[in-house]
A and B are shown apart, each in its own frame.
Chain A
């Protein structure tokens, strides 16, 4: 089958209609030739001999009759060693290299190879001549930073193969042949260290999918203790602008206990990516002692970059994540913001004049969102090892109102919901995850009994607070008032966490467990506080100490002495177990 050609017969925004002469397929990539440049595009609808293409570039200058060449391939990414530490656009163009070539601006029609062909990798063969292999089987390995990168039989090899030749240990570039394999019909093909895979096809060479049962530690107390995320799970962070979605993802990208982090900056500010881009090479990952950049890939298709490439960018990101999962690694994909991706779909759907759904989003919005999050998961590989892809996406709902299509479609499929509230961010209570509205279906790092106890106090404290707004402090009983102070105390010293404090920004599970014990002690105790004035000032004092304690290095002298003071303060006021708390508990059990 020859590669098809066509001619432009219509242009409307970033959609181009092409008259084709031969066979074309859905999602096939084509290039439009205009003014000596070739602009990349993707077939998104076929009607008779007309194909509609979304163009990944600015379309000005395209004219009727311009030549279009189809490629027979779907939109795909290059997989192989050397992806880590890179910064790509949504189509896997390496941005720093593009800058070297084109300067300040993103010149259209320039596509560079994603992987360097110059770097030599230390290859160690694992398979031997005569071995039977199939797609995804490991032929050998190369060290990529701190990881053992598996060189696998390309995933598009559909047959069973016999290894005819495998190269000896040594240094090779990604385009050098490292093995020859023979298929069942006797045809021999050469294998190199890199290959292409279409981004919209999930990679699924694993044996089985496993339930996401292990927590993915983020070192954010509110998340790990109350609304945990699991390795291989999914979660979303909806919130109005300025509520802290991006900062939350930035701290997670630094601290999350995973092997690799892939950041998909999808349709948001370029400036925010620059911060990550400049800071990560300087930041040392305490777990590995290497720079954070070595475990990170950034897919950067920010708001002013072409919108069709934005649509592709989340798929590019998840495909790279799935690739590394095949090596038995745990990958976290953070997408900011999935709403911009949904809007990209909406723009295209509008141009195609499809029948619009709610808020003009296409009818397939829900299934597309579900399909994307479905690509997360914890899996068992053929060699028995496990890997996972965890996906966390921010959602930017119009007007900050969660009753909108993207938030609602996302909530249906994710395993945890971290809803950010304007009220909390206005009050500078960060992270502004709403402690009553948010939820998680995963298991946390602390025991459920204690977290439920704390949750009950937060809930009850909030009720008292609401009541107080009506009846004033005067009309509130001392018991209720103390409950309110207890809820407020948990909020101030445990839920809130200073992302910019060198110590407080990342709290280990060991430390979470330890300080949570003290908090439980405070909130379940009957305290000797007779007046509201006394109660308020005692809690103020305790809070101040606790904040200093939170800011002190784990188990150093200051930490220990502050803890002693805190415990002494509690002992001094403790009368026994709080009756209120017991009453509410037995009521619950009944």
Chain B
């Protein structure tokens, strides 16, 4: 029988302290208050003073409440029964289904030995030309969508999840609006993907500490499925909320902030989650697609900034479109050389012309004279935006490449495109 403590020494923010012996760092406890029972974990040991972070928060906790140590760190049940289920950040059911207790695994485990990693090699097809053609997504990649509130980033996430050929989807929601949570649920259900999806959802109304647990619990489950050979796609939205939860907690614990109030270990904290993305040789894989909203559309804000240093590129979603500039898939070159021979050349060529279009637009707005070439570019830019960049476009890669040639031939002569002669011979549409 585990010892129960009835005297809470201090309560500050979400952190309580008790005097206790034989407690381990990281150990889990149950705190029973008049509002119910919450989990808590040990975040500091100082002699016999144990500091615990209460998952449901410090609000309403009284000094006479009961603390019972469980003798193990935070765990989650892992089995196929997770499929189709919805949980909170601390793993409690939020779908009226039964609580799962079998086969408990620890969360936040060690990282993969770099020597065991392999070079990523499989493209994930999404049907979105701005991804498939210009910044291919690769299995085991970690990649966030950089965006601002109001943009359809969750729609984009749901759509990629639906079209990607993966075995399992794990959705980690942090500070998710209830409507968005329902949107994901309905979309996945309508697409028939719900039965291969597990949700760990922290909504904006839930206690802040639970927000912190979402990535770890989602990725721990993903890792186990991947080791069993499954291709797992983990969706994390919105990682800025995760970072803000860390900030809030760090400040209440009086840690010295480094940059705009964020703790000095923001980079390491984010990295330890994103680096869980992996392709296990001989087993499955974890691909992480995140959402990072940028306060003030500012990419130099600490959250997108630190994220960009960690992830393998980003999709920059602005005005309902994935912008070719600002977006980057660092792994694209691992896969786009073997799709179709014109893929790379077309990608480079079309982007260069689009950049030239933007320059022409700028010249036009400054009132400078438009040359014939400028006029051609203006036409091209408009067609490119409508037929490639618009998110409603949904075609397979090959179709998108064909469309690319079509657009170019509508706007330019072959030599104006700067594309190699042998490719032009083979792919230029005959009119």
A356 x B256 contact (CB < 8 A): yes
For B44, B73, B264, the residue with the greatest tally of chain A CB atoms inside 10 Å of its CB is: B264
Q: CB of B257 within 8 A of chain A?
A: yes
Cβ of A421 to closest chain B Cβ, rounded Å: 14
B256 x A104 contact (CB < 8 A): no
Cβ of A493 to closest chain B Cβ, rounded Å: 16
A105 to B220, CA, bound (A): 13
Chain A interface residue count, Cβ-Cβ cutoff 8 angstroms: 65
Cβ of B253 to closest chain A Cβ, rounded Å: 11
Q: Which of A116-124, A248-256, A267-275, A517-525 contacts B (4 or more CB under 8 A)?
A: A267-275
Map CB proximity to B onto A330-344 as digits: 1 under 8 Å, 0 otherwise. 000000000010010
CB-CB contacts below 8 Å: A212-246 with B: 240-242
Question: Among A10, A61, A340, which residue has its beta carbon within 8 angstroms of that of B46?
Answer: A10
CB-CB contacts below 8 Å: B295-349 with A: 300-302, 305-306, 308-310, 312-313, 325-326, 328, 330-331, 333
Measured between beta carbons, the chain A residues less than 8 angstroms from B259 are 359-360, 398
B113 x A62 contact (CB < 8 A): no
A307 to B301, CA, bound (A): 23
A62 to B114, CA, bound (A): 26
A399 x B300 contact (CB < 8 A): yes
A359 x B258 contact (CB < 8 A): yes
Question: Among A9, A104, A304, which residue has its beta carbon within 8 angstroms of that of B275?
Answer: A304
For B24, B272, B300, the residue with the greatest tally of chain A CB atoms inside 10 Å of its CB is: B24
Question: Among A58, A104, A305, A346, which residue has its beta carbon within 8 angstroms of that of B258?
Answer: A346
Q: Assess A304 versus B73: contact at CB under 8 Å? Given A95-B115, A105-B112.
A: no
A63 to B48, CA, bound (A): 10
B25 x A59 contact (CB < 8 A): yes
- Closest chain A residue to B109, Cβ basis: A105
Q: CB of B271 within 8 A of chain A?
A: yes
For B301, B309, B325, the residue with the greatest tally of chain A CB atoms inside 10 Å of its CB is: B309
Measured between beta carbons, the chain B residues less than 8 angstroms from A103 are 113, 116
A343 x B268 contact (CB < 8 A): yes
Cβ of A466 to closest chain B Cβ, rounded Å: 14
Measured between beta carbons, the chain B residues less than 8 angstroms from A396 are 309
Measured between beta carbons, the chain A residues less than 8 angstroms from B114 are 87, 95, 270, 273-274, 277, 300, 302
Cβ of A419 to closest chain B Cβ, rounded Å: 16
Question: Among A64, A360, A400, which residue has its beta carbon within 8 angstroms of that of B300?
Answer: A400
Q: CB of A473 within 8 A of chain B?
A: yes
Q: CB of A503 within 8 A of chain B?
A: no
Measured between beta carbons, the chain A residues less than 8 angstroms from B333 are 500
Map CB proximity to B onto A67-83 as digits: 1 under 8 Å, 0 otherwise. 00000000000000000
A241 x B113 contact (CB < 8 A): no
Chain B interface residue count, Cβ-Cβ cutoff 8 angstroms: 61
Measured between beta carbons, the chain A residues less than 8 angstroms from B73 are 60-61
Q: Assess A61 versus B256: contact at CB under 8 Å? Given A11-B44, A105-B112, A242-B328.
A: no
Measured between beta carbons, the chain A residues less than 8 angstroms from B118 are 274, 278
Cβ of B104 to closest chain A Cβ, rounded Å: 15
B110 x A107 contact (CB < 8 A): yes
Q: Assess A269 versus B25: contact at CB under 8 Å? Given A58-B110, A99-B115.
A: no
A343 to B331, CA, bound (A): 26
A303 x B310 contact (CB < 8 A): yes
Q: Assess A104 versus B309: contact at CB under 8 Å? Given A307-B268, A350-B264.
A: no
Q: CB of B366 within 8 A of chain A?
A: yes
- Closest chain A residue to B266, Cβ basis: A343
Q: CB of A48 within 8 A of chain B?
A: no
Measured between beta carbons, the chain B residues less than 8 angstroms from A401 are 300
A61 x B110 contact (CB < 8 A): no
Q: CB of B120 within 8 A of chain A?
A: yes
Q: Assess A62 versus B25: contact at CB under 8 Å? Given A105-B110, A307-B265.
A: yes
Q: CB of B70 within 8 A of chain A?
A: no
Q: CB of A449 within 8 A of chain B?
A: no
Q: CB of B111 within 8 A of chain A?
A: yes
Q: CB of A426 within 8 A of chain B?
A: yes
B48 x A108 contact (CB < 8 A): no
Cβ of A207 to closest chain B Cβ, rounded Å: 39
A66 to B333, CA, bound (A): 50
Measured between beta carbons, the chain B residues less than 8 angstroms from A60 are 24-26, 73
Cβ of A317 to closest chain B Cβ, rounded Å: 15
Cβ of A69 to closest chain B Cβ, rounded Å: 19
B25 x A63 contact (CB < 8 A): yes
A242 to B21, CA, bound (A): 49
Q: CB of B45 within 8 A of chain A?
A: yes
B117 x A64 contact (CB < 8 A): no
Measured between beta carbons, the chain A residues less than 8 angstroms from B47 are 9-10, 64
A274 x B111 contact (CB < 8 A): no
Measured between beta carbons, the chain A residues less than 8 angstroms from B267 are 267, 303, 340, 343
A304 x B111 contact (CB < 8 A): yes
Q: Assess A104 versus B313: contact at CB under 8 Å? Given A303-B272, A399-B300.
A: no
Q: CB of A126 within 8 A of chain B?
A: no
Q: CB of B149 within 8 A of chain A?
A: no
Question: Among B24, B280, B309, which residue has its beta carbon within 8 angstroms of that of A241?
Answer: B309
- Closest chain A residue to B49, Cβ basis: A10
Cβ of B136 to closest chain A Cβ, rounded Å: 15
A271 to B26, CA, bound (A): 29
A277 to B116, CA, bound (A): 11
Map CB proximity to A onto B119-153 as digits: 1 under 8 Å, 0 otherwise. 11000000000000000000000000000000000
B24 x A269 contact (CB < 8 A): no
Q: CB of A106 within 8 A of chain B?
A: yes
A305 to B45, CA, bound (A): 23
A98 x B113 contact (CB < 8 A): yes
A102 x B258 contact (CB < 8 A): no
A275 x B119 contact (CB < 8 A): yes
B302 x A398 contact (CB < 8 A): yes
Q: CB of B255 within 8 A of chain A?
A: yes
Q: CB of B3 within 8 A of chain A?
A: no
Q: Assess A472 versus B368: contact at CB under 8 Å? Given A64-B21, A104-B280, A241-B309.
A: yes
Measured between beta carbons, the chain A residues less than 8 angstroms from B22 are 63-65
Q: CB of A130 within 8 A of chain B?
A: no
Measured between beta carbons, the chain B residues less than 8 angstroms from A399 are 300-302, 305
Cβ of B360 to closest chain A Cβ, rounded Å: 12
Q: CB of A183 within 8 A of chain B?
A: no
Measured between beta carbons, the chain A residues less than 8 angstroms from B258 are 346, 359-361
Map CB proximity to A onto B209-244 as digits: 1 under 8 Å, 0 otherwise. 000000000000000000100000000000000000
Measured between beta carbons, the chain A residues less than 8 angstroms from B24 are 60-63
Q: CB of A474 within 8 A of chain B?
A: yes
- Closest chain A residue to B50, Cβ basis: A64
B275 x A350 contact (CB < 8 A): no
Q: Assess A473 versus B368: contact at CB under 8 Å? Given A106-B111, A401-B300.
A: yes
Q: CB of A371 within 8 A of chain B?
A: no
- Closest chain A residue to B328, Cβ basis: A242
Q: CB of B177 within 8 A of chain A?
A: no
A398 to B22, CA, bound (A): 42
Q: CB of A96 within 8 A of chain B?
A: yes
Q: CB of A347 within 8 A of chain B?
A: yes
Measured between beta carbons, the chain B residues less than 8 angstroms from A273 are 114
CB-CB contacts below 8 Å: B12-63 with A: 21-26, 44-48
B25 x A104 contact (CB < 8 A): no
B275 x A303 contact (CB < 8 A): yes
Measured between beta carbons, the chain A residues less than 8 angstroms from B44 are 10-12
**Closest 6 pairs between A and B when the two form their complex, measured CB to CB:** A60-B26, A399-B300, A303-B271, A304-B275, A360-B258, A95-B115
What are 6 inter-chain pairs, A to B, with CB distance below 8 A? A12-B44, A105-B111, A105-B113, A277-B115, A350-B264, A426-B325
Residues in chain A within 8 A of chain B (CB atoms): 8-12, 17, 58-65, 87, 95-96, 98-99, 102-108, 240-242, 267-271, 273-275, 277-278, 300, 302-305, 307, 340, 343, 346-347, 350, 356, 359-361, 396, 398-401, 426-427, 472-474, 500
Given contacts A10-B46, A99-B113, list 16 more A-B pairs with CB under 8 A. Answer: A10-B44, A12-B46, A61-B25, A64-B45, A64-B48, A96-B115, A98-B115, A104-B112, A104-B113, A106-B111, A241-B309, A274-B114, A303-B272, A303-B275, A359-B259, A399-B301
